[in-house]
């Protein structure tokens, strides 16, 4: 995999609940992380006293975060609606030369900031709320 342009990592949200995905406008930085809990099945019979883990067990999760400036009324309003109504719509994350991750996420935090001589900014944090799908490039 060759070096990728950071602006090509895109976070998209379902605008209408029917699969109309739009890139969240104004994002300057975005991040996705995947996690899987381990299930320890070590016993007295474990070879050499080494820990053993149960493959395929444990809870999997994903987290998305992003920060940026306000640029688009539609995606800004949709993000606020999702947060304040407690909705769990689908999001897509486009990872260049890797693939597309899609699934339901809950917006767990929205933060707004601004200074008297600068632009207003925001930060979003989202937690997976169901099964993710992955389609490789």
Q: Which CATH number fits domain 6-136: 2.60.40, 2.30.110, 1.10.3470, 1.10.10?
A: 2.30.110
- The mean pLDDT of 59-75, rounded to a whole number, is 89
Q: Is the pLDDT of residue 1 over 70?
A: no
DSSP 71-109: --HHHHHHHHHHHHHT---EEEEEETTTEEEEEEEEEEE
Q: What's the chain's average pLDDT?
A: 91
Residue 72, φ and ψ in degrees, nearest 5: -145, 120
Decide: 117 and 90 in contact? Cβ < 8 Å.
no
Is the predicted pLDDT of residue 99 greater than 80, yes or no? yes
- Considering the entire predicted model, what is its pTM? 0.85
pLDDT at 43: 94
Distance, in Å, from the CA atom of 94 to the CA atom of 8, rounded to the nearest integer, reads: 8
pLDDT surpasses 90 at 3: no
State the Cα–Cα distance between residues 111 and 119, nearest whole angstrom: 14
The domains of the chain are located at: 6-136
pLDDT above 90 as % of the chain: 65
Place of tokens 């996705």: 32
pLDDT tens-digit map of 88-97: 999 999 998 8
């Amino acid at each position: 995999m060759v070096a990728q342009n950071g602006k090509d990592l895109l976070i998209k949200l379902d605008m209408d609940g029917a699969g109309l995905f739009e890139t969240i406008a104004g994002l300057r930085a975005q991040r996705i992380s995947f996690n899987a809990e381990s299930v320890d099945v070590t016993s007295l019979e474990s070879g050499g006293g080494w820990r053993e883990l149960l493959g395929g067990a444990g809870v999997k999760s994903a987290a998305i975060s992003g920060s940026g400036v306000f640029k688009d009324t539609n995606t800004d309003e949709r993000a606020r609606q999702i947060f304040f109504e407690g909705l769990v719509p689908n999001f897509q994350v486009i990872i260049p030369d890797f693939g597309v991750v899609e699934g339901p996420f809950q917006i767990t935090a929205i933060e707004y900031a601004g200074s008297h001589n600068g632009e207003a900014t925001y930060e979003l944090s989202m937690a997976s709320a169901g099964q993710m799908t992955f389609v490789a490039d």
